[in-house]
A and B are shown apart, each in its own frame.
Chain A
Amino acid sequence: MISFILRRLASAVPTLFIVVTISFFLMRFAPGGPFNLERPLPPQTMANLMATYQLDQPLWRQYVHYLSNAVTGDFGPSYIYKDNNVAQLIGKGLPYSIELGLYALLFAVIGGVIAGTIAALRQNSILDFTIMSVSTLGVTVPNFVVGPVLTLVFAIGLAWLPAGGWGDGSMRYLILPMIALALPQLAVFARLTRGSMIEALHTDHIRTAKAYGLPARTVVVTHAMRGAMLPVVSYLAPCAAALLTGSAVVETIFTIPGVGRYFVLGAINRDYTLVMGTVILVAIFVIVFNLLVDILYGLLDPRVRHD
């Protein structure tokens, strides 16, 4: 088990390297630059700025420079948020994004699995059709629609909850953004669970469990659900990585000071280093969660145990 984890972590190094390399050059080949403003800067100012940030150097040298700094944990200065370097920006925003993302993840997984299981057990009933229609809606309606609608109804109309901001970080502030963030994922979990539950309920070993007079609860929870959770667990890794690294849309709508905004702002402003920082952040989350999920998978399914 330990050697499995170590091997996986070692294989993360080349993965990260490839991710960094590709996104570095992609970013640079995009037209424009961090200092191309609407009103062009005087050429001399521009040249000074470029020299300060070493953007006048050949591309390969900048790349080597970035890599060697990144290895030591220095992800460079942000060109736009000049008071902070990239590491500080992410360090400040990440706790907010993680906290909100964690709630959203729990909500999506628990809600989705329960809804999907109910739909599977009542296959082709009204309840099943309702759950599946709502979850189709959840997948298709973008959260820049869901967010404002939630605000309109629960914050402005009913005035039950605050419309935005982090406030004191209490649950009241988190409920609406959490729902907006979780809804599409909850819908995916519901659909995944329903599909694999229906399949699991038709397996031969479920017939065995019924033939041996095991109570319905044991048949469903102990035997069908454990097997049905395997595909759900697989989806957990990309989902967790996406939710915990924040969402630009939701954080902007609800004015959450997380890191999600930096993806979009960084890209629009050609803030090369900020984009690189967020890309590396997401890559690390994806790698770590994939590893965690593989370990979890082994615990659930003895056939793929890593020993």
Chain B
Amino acid sequence: MADTNETILAVRGLKVNFSTPDGTVDAVKGIDLDVRTGETLAVVGESGSGKSQTMMGIMGLLAKNGTVTGSARYRGQELVGLSPKALNGVRGSKITMIFQEPMTSLDPLYTIGRQIAEPIVHHRGGTFKQARARVLELLELVGIPEPGRRIDSYPHELSGGQRQRVMIAMALANEPDLLIADEPTTALDVTIQAQILDLLKSLQKRFGMAIVLITHDLGIVKHFAERVAVMRRGEVVEQGTTADIFERPQADYTKMLLAAEPSGRKAAPADNAPIILEGRDVCVDYAIGGGFFTRGNAVFRAVDKVTLRLREGQTIGVVGESGSGKSTLGRALLRLLPSSGYYRFGTTDISGFDRGQMRPLRRALQLVFQDPYGSLSPRRTVGEIITEGLHVHEPALSRADRDRRAIEALKEVGLDPASRNRYPHEFSGGQRQRIAIARAMILKPKVVILDEPTSALDRSVQGQVIELLRDLQRSHGLSYIFISHDLSVVKAMSDYVIVMKNGKIVEEGDTDGIFDAPREPYTRTLIGAAFNV
């Protein structure tokens, strides 16, 4: 990295605020940042910390009700207060950006070749035809296979990882000085995440541009950035070299963030613990193609001959990337979708059970979903939501009894019992996840399938939810199936791990064995991607 001393972006006293019907919201409260040639600065913070809005403000991309004040100088040129037209001389040529959402950041109506060419044609002149050679070169550079064919593809024809590569090609097109990467890997699978970060790193070495990496994930910062700025509630609480931040954090918030990396292990239950839920040779098929009248003739096997035995008090972690069939497996085990195989709950063979036969068992077999926003009805109070299952499974309970149970359940998940009269939108993401857990716990289940219960949460909140789940397991003797793509969470939660890929089990074993001595290359890739990028 040549000449790391020269500051190319100097941010001083930068403020961003939004005028809303409820008054002005200060998203960024006067921060200072410096970015030097060729370095990587990570701006880390949880949701709402103002890390993205800082960069959006500098780049003139705030929503209409947002204003930016203060100073941001790019090589001496003030960017704050510049007209959009003047800013266009810098945006897309000297400073470029990639975003979190590779699915929606590209225009669905134009080929990727044309979209990459647009900033070239616009900033350097020439025609789209002339830019084509350069676009091919860029696609090659970012590792898109068969660039000659792919150049005429539309975004919907590419995978998420490929689209992010296209965004990177666009960002590199004019050989920028500074690349701002706003959560560039958050929406991607772990293995793809690692590939994208590797690509950014190697391109940085080759072209020497500086990178500002905006992220909530401290894990990827450690191996990627030279310097880190930690943001909280619109302020920079601490900044320094990556080594300093990780080894000698000063601010309490930074210490808390670092400690929030899920830790601890779960001990396996005794070997003679009885099996509570078993699925043998579980297969789930989806028909693909076909319309309303025509049966699809092709079949997609989402889960392929998976066998799983859950013991009392055990937590089995099911890991895999999107599309690996892990969520489908969870639903098949609860007999929530058509599947073949042999199923046993306790000592009861439930393979042939229909909906009516399953209903009395449902109480003991609960499911907690990923999305704490989507899975709670916005029009019902928390009390109504969590007692809904009692109406079905314990219809004899009086109103007062139900209320007592609701209070109990809310206390158990660490929420104020008074919250049962409020509505879901009044709660934060972590609190909503607690509500979702209370809804399952109120029925006193035996088995809970947790489908990505912590994926939508910030790290610090994630740690608390994991703690809660472990406490509940201990005090009630629960068995969990814990489905997640997040290996650090799985490591902290489960005593047995199943690794899935394309609907099949690739590898399984005790948590320690899987993480310390993975046998399969795929498992090694997953672990490598998650723990040392």
Among the interface residues A213, A216, A227, A301, which one has the most CB atoms of the partner chain B within 10 A? A213
Binary B-proximity of A202-232 (CB < 8 A = 1, otherwise 0)? 0111011111111110100001001100000
Q: Which parts of B23-45 form the interface with A (CB within 8 Å)?
A: none
**Shortest beta-carbon distance from A299 to chain B in Å:** 10
B269 within 8 A of A: no
The interface stretch among B85-93, B230-238, B423-431 is B85-93
Q: Which of B84, B101, B170 contacts A212 (CB 8 A)?
A: B170
Q: Which parts of B54-98 form the interface with A (CB within 8 Å)?
A: 59-61, 64, 84-85, 87-93, 96-97
Distance A204 CA – B92 CA, assembled complex (angstroms): 16
The interface stretch among B103-111, B307-315, B380-388, B409-417 is B103-111
A300 within 8 A of B: yes
With contact pairs A210-B61, A213-B123, A218-B122 given, residues A203 and B104 touching in the complex (Cβ less than 8 Å)? yes
A303 within 8 A of B: yes
Q: Is the interface of B mostly helix, strand, loop or mixed?
A: loop
B60 touches A210 (CB 8 A): yes
Distance A171 CA – B64 CA, assembled complex (angstroms): 44
- Which of chain A's residues have a CB closer than 8 A to the CB of B97? 208, 211-212
B90 touches A213 (CB 8 A): yes
- Which of chain B's residues have a CB closer than 8 A to the CB of A208? 97, 99, 105-107, 167, 170
- Which of chain B's residues have a CB closer than 8 A to the CB of A214? 88, 92, 118-119, 122
Binary A-proximity of B104-135 (CB < 8 A = 1, otherwise 0)? 11111110000000110011000000000000
B101 touches A204 (CB 8 A): yes
Q: Which parts of A275-307 form the interface with B (CB within 8 Å)?
A: 300-303
**Shortest beta-carbon distance from B291 to chain A in Å:** 12
Among the interface residues B87, B104, B118, which one has the most CB atoms of the partner chain A within 10 A? B118
Distance A300 CA – B107 CA, assembled complex (angstroms): 12
Distance A302 CA – B155 CA, assembled complex (angstroms): 10
A227 touches B105 (CB 8 A): no
A216 touches B92 (CB 8 A): no
A210 touches B105 (CB 8 A): no
Q: Which of B87, B91, B93, B156 contacts A302 (CB 8 A)?
A: B156
With contact pairs A204-B99, A302-B154 given, residues A216 and B106 touching in the complex (Cβ less than 8 Å)? no
With contact pairs A211-B59, A302-B154 given, residues A223 and B170 touching in the complex (Cβ less than 8 Å)? no
Distance A123 CA – B108 CA, assembled complex (angstroms): 24
With CB as the reference atom, state the residue of chain A lying closest to B101.
Answer: A204
**Shortest beta-carbon distance from B162 to chain A in Å:** 16
A212 touches B92 (CB 8 A): yes
Q: How many A-B residue pairs have CB under 8 A?
A: 79
**Shortest beta-carbon distance from A199 to chain B in Å:** 13
B60 touches A215 (CB 8 A): no
With CB as the reference atom, state the residue of chain A lying closest to B64.
Answer: A123
- Which of chain A's residues have a CB closer than 8 A to the CB of B93? 213
Distance A213 CA – B120 CA, assembled complex (angstroms): 10
A207 touches B99 (CB 8 A): yes
B105 touches A212 (CB 8 A): no
With contact pairs A205-B107, A207-B105, A227-B109 given, residues A212 and B91 touching in the complex (Cβ less than 8 Å)? yes
A215 touches B107 (CB 8 A): no
B96 touches A212 (CB 8 A): yes
Among the interface residues A211, A216, A302, which one has the most CB atoms of the partner chain B within 10 A? A211
- Which of chain A's residues have a CB closer than 8 A to the CB of B154? 302-303
B109 touches A302 (CB 8 A): yes
Distance A47 CA – B85 CA, assembled complex (angstroms): 82
Q: Which of B64, B91, B107 contacts A210 (CB 8 A)?
A: B91
Distance A210 CA – B105 CA, assembled complex (angstroms): 11
Known: A213-B87, A213-B88, A227-B109. 16 other contacts (CB 8 A): A203-B104, A208-B97, A210-B91, A211-B61, A211-B91, A211-B92, A212-B122, A213-B91, A214-B88, A214-B119, A215-B85, A215-B88, A223-B107, A302-B108, A302-B156, A303-B154
Contact surface of A with B, Cβ cutoff 8 Å: 123, 203-205, 207-216, 218, 223, 226-227, 300-303
By Cβ-Cβ distance, the 5 closest A-B pairs, closest first, are A212-B92, A213-B92, A213-B91, A213-B88, A204-B104
Can you spell out 22 A-B residue pairs with CB atoms less than 8 angstroms apart? A203-B104, A204-B99, A204-B105, A205-B105, A205-B107, A207-B99, A208-B97, A211-B59, A211-B97, A212-B92, A212-B170, A213-B88, A213-B90, A213-B119, A213-B122, A215-B88, A226-B109, A227-B108, A301-B108, A302-B108, A302-B154, A303-B156
